[in-house]
């Protein structure tokens, strides 16, 4: 005999079994062996959380009360899944490409990441789901009581809230343990999904077993059962057309909008191709779940005493026949339905609550200063755990305070109608680019308000809304009666509420969208959602983990450089204890890689790149904006670098030039020194030679002695002159010369120079032609130095002019700003090849008459430079011609 | 595949067939809606059909839709072989 204690033991061992299943699944997922966990069968089975305890037990009750109406609740989702090519496929694709974590996240992401909308949907979900959780707790408690009552031989008047509390605590614990193990970027929970799949099998097997027992064990076959149905009080089709259509629509809408369904259908979807299997397998599952409902109802009505609760026929029929084992199995089926629903609903709701309500508030309170990622992860996990506990406890409190009973029984469809209010905003968002945030907010508010007013509050019983208000409307305004809006009376309350809330919701959504203007982010997101099939990559299965790591490697090499990337990967592989050079792409490794890459390309870019490879998801608009920001910064930085490098190369060029000049100068200096030594050496050699002759040979006659002595004297004079010239040049070059500026007539200076040049000459053969009227110019300059230049030029002409009758023309030209003095002889002139060098030191045009050291013209140029004038060779004058230019200031000042 | 026909035409035929299968997949829920909408036309009260026959009708429609869905799903999965070159679809 089954005792209550044994039942508790069965329950506990079943829960323990679920723990083991979830744990093993998590372990396998962590080890990367997820092929089986991600099979389409598991996906299909996980969708079965649509069938809660309310449908497991309540379908039979519904069949007793309303005939085949219960089928409509399964028909809606079947149609949605059979029509997966229309909506579900798009939802799953969007969910993956946008990394959607919940239905609130989807709506908010579509309308420009509006957190207001997310909060709105979250509140709607909490309001709709909490009573539903209460309903699950009630059904588990009731089924416990049935066993207890059966064994005690009596009936419980009221369900014990203690049972519900224990169930709630246990469920919260399970959900916290397996629902928040990690913060997967994709929000996938392998353990939970696996446990749900197992529970789906348990509840199907349980219901089918009872059905088979009823049809073949109690009724004697299919034909007999059908006859029995027709003979029963459910014998004729009595479903109102409105209810049939309305509930079909409602269940279809709810299937798309309920947070828990969205969780398994979209968020946990591992592969788009699984939808293909689920599209027919899930309707098949629903068909099997509803197949034996009517037979059980009919047999239950036959066998059990009048007044028995038809909601519990699934349990009480086997019990009444002494089928303890079957009853326990059936109990486990109901228990599975309830627990799986609560677990997934709690996960889905807690994700929404923590992401859209707790975290924004927390970040605002802390000033958004949580820059360390690990820090935030911890907070998110804590928030999520607390949210799970909060949601389950809220359900328990609702159950405890509503006291169970009939008020709860109708809450299933009420919750459906509440969540269905999200449908216009959701479908409009994925199919219509013109949908805006304002429209979505308007639609949701109108729908939510109408749902509260016409359905939710009246459903809570007379205690909440005063009876007078239900009957006569608020403040006596009859056309605002909650269950007969605008004077349309006599409708079924549910249909009435669906009709008004959905139509006005959709209307407000449309009008609001048409009249408002979306933000840029909203428009971009809209385009991404509506045209998701053009924007996102095709369905791709996870192509093995090593292949991914290789992709990462290729990318990392491009960014970090080959050696560095190799070293990083090898280090990671070693740290993971893996053989070879490729590490597993664990979250830790990906995080580290992202940080490394972020150092090179910026955080947002790194995140987007890794996301692209690992998740196969497309990049969101916000990512793109962040990337654009970063690249703008990088470009600015590189522009600055470029400017700096231009400046550097300019400086380098200048340095190179300076170096060249220095090298040239050094070469010149060397040449100068060797020239000097040569120049000094020549006279010294002859002085030494002749002085030795004078000393050593005593028999020299007076004439010879005289000649030798005069050679020695000449050479000494030449040396002295050379040294004088060098000294002069050095003084001039160093700029240490002090000028003795005086005013004088140019003719006087030329007179002095010609006289001085003549004085040193052996012959007076040189004819000098002058035009004294031109020379009547006053100049202000260092007269001695200028005279030195003139002397040099005149004596050069005397020395080097080859003409038979050498003549020198001195021509003076007075211009407005300067005085030009030309010295032109009638010799051969200087060849073009020598003209460049005649002003250099030690340059001589002709070697034969080496009278000087070759410093004369160099000194002249230095002097003229000091005086602010110039001296240059004047070609094309029929002989050697030099032009001395006396600067303007000197000439003008004398006028 | 017919002998001597260029492969290009074969591929085109195949992708054409694929698109028609997708059309069929899109049409299936509409068909289901129609079939399950038939009970709206049934009379109520005295002339109402029996629950047993209603039950048989509803579940027959269900079974038919599931079978059709499974068939279409199979045909669609064969088409994914072609998609494989784009991004590595699941092998059927």
Q: Where residue A692 sits, what CATH number does that domain have?
A: 1.10.287.130
Q: What is the mean pLDDT of residues B15-23?
A: 83
Which CATH number fits the domain that encloses residue A141?
1.20.1730.10
Decide if A78 and B52 are in contact by the 8 Å CB cutoff: no
Asked if A265 and A410 sit in the same domain, the reply is yes
Give me the pLDDT at residue A3, please.
65
- Between these two residues, A842 and A447, which has the higher pLDDT value? A447
A631, part of any domain: no
Q: What token pair was written down for A685?
A: 């050699």
* Percentage, residues of chain A above pLDDT 90: 10
**Tally of domains in chain A:** 4
Q: Pairing between strand A870-873 and A881-886?
A: antiparallel
Question: Are the beta carbons of A238 and B39 separated by less than 8 Å?
Answer: no
Model confidence at B7: pLDDT above 60 = no
What pLDDT, on a 0 to 100 scale, did the predictor assign at position B89? Answer: 33
- Per-residue pLDDT at A442: 93
Asked whether residue A2 carries a pLDDT value surpassing 60, the answer given is: no
Of A515, A533, A551, the one marking the end of a domain is A533
- Chain B residues whose CB is inside 8 A of the A271 CB are 90
Res A374: pLDDT: 47
Lowest mean pLDDT among A285-294, A602-611, A810-819: A602-611
pLDDT at A464: 65
Measured torsion, CA atoms of residues A484, A488, A493, A498, in degrees rounded to the nearest 10 = -110
* pLDDT average, residue stretch B43-67: 85
Residue in the structure block whose two tokens are 């109802």: A297
Task: Tell me the backbone φ, ψ of residue A367, rounded to 5 degrees.
Answer: 70, 20
Q: What would the pLDDT profile of A58-100 be if each residue is shown by its tens digit?
A: 888 888 888 888 888 899 999 999 888 888 888 888 887 777 8
Does A832 contact chain B (CB < 8 Å)? no
Cross-chain Cβ contact A226/B37 below 8 Å: no
Please tell me whether residues A554 and A655 are part of one structural domain: no
Are residues A703 and A757 both part of a single domain? no
Q: Does the pLDDT value for residue B63 go beyond 90?
A: yes
The tens digit of pLDDT for each residue in A387-430 reads: 888 888 888 888 887 765 665 557 778 888 888 999 999 999 88
A325 at the B interface (CB within 8 A)? no
Residue A627 lies in a domain: no
A888 vs B38, higher pLDDT = B38
Let me know: does A882 contact A872? Beta carbons within 8 Å. Answer: yes
Percentage of residues in chain B with pLDDT exceeding 90? 16
Determine, yes or no, domain membership for A633.
Answer: no
Please state which of the ranges A368-372, A542-546, A706-710 shows the lowest mean pLDDT. A542-546
User: What radius of gyration do chain A's Cα atoms show?
Assistant: 54
Per-residue pLDDT at A284 exceeds 90: yes
- Determine, yes or no, domain membership for A538: no
- Per the CB < 8 Å rule, is B33 touching A79? yes
Indicate the SS3 state at residue A551: helix
Structure letter (DSSP) for residue A847: S
- Which residues in chain A touch residue B55, judged by CB atoms under 8 angstroms apart? 68, 226, 229, 294
Contacts of A85 in chain B (CB under 8 A): 22, 25-26
**A860 touches A789 (CB < 8 A):** yes
Q: Check residue A252 and give its pLDDT.
A: 92
* C-alpha dihedral, A457 to A458 to A463 to A468, nearest 10°: 120
Check if the beta carbon of residue A213 is closer than 8 Å to that of residue A221: no
- What is the model's pLDDT at position B11? 59
Residues of A numbered 248-287 whose beta carbons fall under 8 angstroms of chain B's beta carbons: which are they? 248, 271, 273, 276-277, 279-281, 283-284, 287
Q: Are residues A441 and A292 in the same domain?
A: yes
Of the candidates B37, B50, B70, the beta carbon closest to that of A236 is on: B50
Residue A104 sits in the same domain as residue A178: yes
Say if A221 is an interface residue toward chain B (CB within 8 Å).
no
Same domain, A747 and A603: no
Flag the least confident range among A37-51, A266-280, A570-584, A678-692.
Answer: A570-584
Residue A822 pairs with which residues in a beta bridge? A811, A883
Domain that holds residue A376: 4-533
Q: Has residue A750 been placed in a domain?
A: yes
pLDDT confidence tier of residue A327, bands split at 50, 70 and 90 = confident
Confirm whether A205 is domain-assigned.
Answer: yes
pLDDT recorded at residue A369: 47
Question: Which residue of B22, B39, B69 is in closest CB contact with A280?
Answer: B69
Backbone region of residue A882 per phi and psi (left: phi > 0; alpha: psi in -120 to 50; beta: other values):
beta
Mutation pick from B44, B49, B51, B58 vs chain A, by most beta carbons of A within 10 Å, is: B51
CB distance A294–B55 less than 8 Å? yes
Residues in chain A within 8 Å Cβ distance of B54? 68, 237
Closest partner residue to A229 among B29, B30, B52, by Cβ?
B52
Element holding A821 (H helix, E strand) = strand A819-825
If asked whether residues A723 and A759 sit together in one domain, one would say no
Residues of B in contact with A248 (CB under 8 A): 36
Instruction: Decide if A86 touches B, using CB distance below 8 A.
Output: yes
The pLDDT of residue A28 is 81
CB A513 within 8 A of CB A505: no
Interface contact B58-A68, CB threshold 8 A: yes
pLDDT score of A204: 92
| Same domain, yes or no: A759 and A872 | yes
Examine the domain organization and report whether A571 and A683 are in the same domain.
no
Give Cβ neighbours of residue A557 (< 8 Å, ≥ 6 apart). A565, A566
How does strand A807-814 pair with strand A819-825?
A: antiparallel
Among candidate residues A676, A698, A728, the one where a domain is terminated = A728
| Short-list A660, A679, A658, A600, CA closest to A634 | A600
Write the CB contacts of A334 (distance below 8 Å, at least 6 apart in sequence).
A53, A56, A57, A139, A140, A143, A203, A206, A314, A315
- The neighbouring-strand residues paired with A819 are A814, A886
Which pLDDT band holds residue A149 (cuts at 50, 70, 90)? low
Q: So what's the ipTM on this one?
A: 0.82
Give the confidence band of A167 by pLDDT, cuts at 50, 70, 90: confident
Report residue A183 as tokens: 């913060």
Quick: pLDDT tens for A751-808. 888 888 777 666 667 888 888 888 888 888 888 888 888 888 888 888 887 778 888 8
The CA-atom distances, in angstroms, between A233 and each of A64, A310, A466, A505 are 9, 14, 36, 40
Test A294 with B89 for CB contact under 8 angstroms: no
The yes-or-no verdict on residue A460 having pLDDT over 80 is no
**A211-215, A493-497, A744-748: which is most confident:** A211-215
Residue A781: what are its φ and ψ, rounded to 5°? -170, -175
Comparing alpha-carbon positions, the chain A residue that sits nearest to B41 is A241
Segments of A720-802 assigned E as strands: 741-745, 767-770, 778-782
- Among A533, A554, A578, the domain-final residue is A533
**Residues A378 and A308 placed together within one structural domain of the fold:** yes
Instruction: Return the minimum-mean-pLDDT range out of A22-26, A573-577, A716-720.
Output: A573-577
Q: In whole angstroms, give the CA distance from residue A40 to residue A691.
A: 123
Mean pLDDT of A875-892: 75
Would you say residue A858 has pLDDT above 80? yes
Average pLDDT score over residue span A609-619: 62
- Asked whether the predicted pLDDT for residue B3 surpasses 60, the reply is no
DSSP-derived 3-state class of residue A31: coil
Give yes or no for a contact between A879 and A801, defined as CB atoms under 8 angstroms apart: yes
At which residue do the structure tokens 């006859």 appear?
Answer: A227
Give pLDDT tens digits for A704-733.
888 888 888 988 888 888 888 888 888 887
Considering the domain architecture, whether residues A507 and A563 belong to the same structural domain is answered as no
A236 near B CB under 8 A: yes
Residues of A in contact with B76 (CB under 8 A): 276
Residue A581 DSSP SS3: coil
Contacts of B51 in chain A (CB under 8 A): 67-68, 229-230, 232, 234-237, 294
Task: Examine the domain organization and report whether A446 and A586 are in the same domain.
Answer: no
Look over chain A and give the mean of its residue pLDDT values, rounded to a whole number.
80
Assess if residue A733 is contained within a domain.
no
d(CA A339, CA A260): 12
Select from A40, A77, A237 the residue whose CB has the most chain B CBs within 10 Å, as the one to mutate to test that interface.
A237
pLDDT of residue A33: 65
Among residues of chain A, what percentage have pLDDT more than 70? 83
pLDDT given for residue A542 in this prediction: 37
CA distance A133 to A341: 8
Query: According to the model, what pLDDT value does residue A775 have?
Result: 82
- Which of A235, A280, A284 lies closest to B50 in CB terms? A235
Nearest chain A alpha carbon to B45: A238
CA angle at A26 for the pair A25 and A27, rounded to the nearest 5°? 90
Cα–Cα distance measured from residue A496 to residue A482, given in angstroms and rounded to the nearest whole number: 9
pLDDT surpasses 90 at A649: yes
In a domain, A378, yes or no: yes
Give the pLDDT of residue A507: 94
Q: Residue A78 and residue B65: Cβ atoms within 8 Å?
A: yes
């Amino acid at each position: 005999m089954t005792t209550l204690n044994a039942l508790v033991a069965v329950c506990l061992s079943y829960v323990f079994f679920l723990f083991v299943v979830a744990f093993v699944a998590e372990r396998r997922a962590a080890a990367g062996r997820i092929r089986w966990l991600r099979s389409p069968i598991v996906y299909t089975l996980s969708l079965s959380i649509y069938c809660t305890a309310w449908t497991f037990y309540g379908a039979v009750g519904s069949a007793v009360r309303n005939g085949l109406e219960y089928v409509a609740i399964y028909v809606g989702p079947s149609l949605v899944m059979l029509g997966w090519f229309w909506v579900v496929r798009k939802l799953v694709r969007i969910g993956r490409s946008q990394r959607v974590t919940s239905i609130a996240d989807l709506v908010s992401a579509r309308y420009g990441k509006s957190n207001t909308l997310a909060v709105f949907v979250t509140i709607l979900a909490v309001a709709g789901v909490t009573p539903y959780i209460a309903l699950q707790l009630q059904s588990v408690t009731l089924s416990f009581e049935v066993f207890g009552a059966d064994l005690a031989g009596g009936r419980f008047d009221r369900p014990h809230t203690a049972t519900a509390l224990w169930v709630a605590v246990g469920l919260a614990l399970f959900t916290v343990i397996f629902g928040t193990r990690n913060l997967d970027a994709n929000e996938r929970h392998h353990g939970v999904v696996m446990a749900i799949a197992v529970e789906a099998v348990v509840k199907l097997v349980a219901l089918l077993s009872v059905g088979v027992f009823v049809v073949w064990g109690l009724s004697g076959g299919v034909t007999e059962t059908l006859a029995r149905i027709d003979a029963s009080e459910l014998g004729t089709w009595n479903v109102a057309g409105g209810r049939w259509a309305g509930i079909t629509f409602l269940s279809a809408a709810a299937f798309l909008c309920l947070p828990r369904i969205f969780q398994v259908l979209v968020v946990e979807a591992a592969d788009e191709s699984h939808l293909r299997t689920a599209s027919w397998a899930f309707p098949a599952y629903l068909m099997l779940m509803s197949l034996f409902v009517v037979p059980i109802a009919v047999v239950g009505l036959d066998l059990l005493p009048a007044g028995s609760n038809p909601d519990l026929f699934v349990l009480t029929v086997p019990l009444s026949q002494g089928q303890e084992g079957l009853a326990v199995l059936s109990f486990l089926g109901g228990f599975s339905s309830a627990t799986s629903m609560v677990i997934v609903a709690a996960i889905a709701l807690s994700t929404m609550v923590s992401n859209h309500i707790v975290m924004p508030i927390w970040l605002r309170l802390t000033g958004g200063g949580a820059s360390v990622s690990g820090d935030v992860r911890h907070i998110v996990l804590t928030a999520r755990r607390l949210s799970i506990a909060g949601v389950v406890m809220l359900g328990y409190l609702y159950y405890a305070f509503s006291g169970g009973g009939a008020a709860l029984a109708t809450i299933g469809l009420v919750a459906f109608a509440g969540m269905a209010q999200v449908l216009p905003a959701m479908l409009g968002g994925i199919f219509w680019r013109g949908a805006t945030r304002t429209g979505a907010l308007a639609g949701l508010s109108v729908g939510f308000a109408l749902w509260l007013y016409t359905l939710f509050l009246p459903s809570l019983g007379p205690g909440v809304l005063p009876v007078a208000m239900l009957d006569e409307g608020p403040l006596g305004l009859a056309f605002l009666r909650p269950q007969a809006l605008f004077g349309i009376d006599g409708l079924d309350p549910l249909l009435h509420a669906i009709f008004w809330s959905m139509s006005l919701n959709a209307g407000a959504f449309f009008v609001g969208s048409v009249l408002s203007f979306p933000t840029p982010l909203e428009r971009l997101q809209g385009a991404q959602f509506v045209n998701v099939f053009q924007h996102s990559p095709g369905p791709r299965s996870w192509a093995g983990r090593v292949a991914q790591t290789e992709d990462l490697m290729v990318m990392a090499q491009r960014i970090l450089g080959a050696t560095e990337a190799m070293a990083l990967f090898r280090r990671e592989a070693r740290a993971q204890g893996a053989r070879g050079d490729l590490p597993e792409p664990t979250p830790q490794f990906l995080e580290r890689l992202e940080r490394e890459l972020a150092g090179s390309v910026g955080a947002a870019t790194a995140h987007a790149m890794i996301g692209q490879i690992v998740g196969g998801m497309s990049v969101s608009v916000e990512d793109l904006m962040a990337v654009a920001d970063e690249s703008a910064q990088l470009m600015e930085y590189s522009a600055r670098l470029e400017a700096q490098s231009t400046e550097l190369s300019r400086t380098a060029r200048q340095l190179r030039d300076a170096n060249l000049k220095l090298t040239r100068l050094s070469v010149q200096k060397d040449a100068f020194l060797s020239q000097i030594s040569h120049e000094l050496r020549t006279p010294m050699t002859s002085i030494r030679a002749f002085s030795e002759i004078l000393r050593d040979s005593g028999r020299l006659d007076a004439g010879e002695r005289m000649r030798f002595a005069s050679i020695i004297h000449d050479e000494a004079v030449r040396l002295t002159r050379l040294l004088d010239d060098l000294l002069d040049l050095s003084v001039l070059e160093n700029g240490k010369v002090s000028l003795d500026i005086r005013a004088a007539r140019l003719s006087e200076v030329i007179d002095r120079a010609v006289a001085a040049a003549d004085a040193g000459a052996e012959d007076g053969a040189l004819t000098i032609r002058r035009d004294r009227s031109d020379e009547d110019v006053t100049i202000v300059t260092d007269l001695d130095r200028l005279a030195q230049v003139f002397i040099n030029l005149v004596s050069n002409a005397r020395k080097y002019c080859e003409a038979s009758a050498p003549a020198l023309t001195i021509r003076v030209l007075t211009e407005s700003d300067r005085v030009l003095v030309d010295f032109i002889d009638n010799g051969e002139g200087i060849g073009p090849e020598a003209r460049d060098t005649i002003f250099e030191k030690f340059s001589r045009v002709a070697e034969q008459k080496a009278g000087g050291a070759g410093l004369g013209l160099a000194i002249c140029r230095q002097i003229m430079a000091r005086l602010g004038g110039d001296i240059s060779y004047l070609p094309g004058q029929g002989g050697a011609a030099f032009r001395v230019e006396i600067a303007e200031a000197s000439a003008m000042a004398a006028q | 595949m017919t002998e001597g026909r260029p492969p290009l035409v074969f591929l085109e035929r195949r992708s054409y067939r694929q698109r028609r299968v997708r059309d069929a997949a899109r049409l299936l829920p509409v068909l289901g809606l129609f079939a399950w909408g038939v009970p709206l036309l049934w009379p109520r009260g005295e002339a109402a059909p029996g629950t047993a026959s209603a039950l048989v009708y509803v579940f027959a429609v269900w079974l038919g839709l599931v079978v059709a869905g499974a068939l279409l799903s199979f045909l669609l999965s064969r088409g994914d072989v072609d998609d494989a070159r784009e991004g590595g679809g699941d092998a059927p």
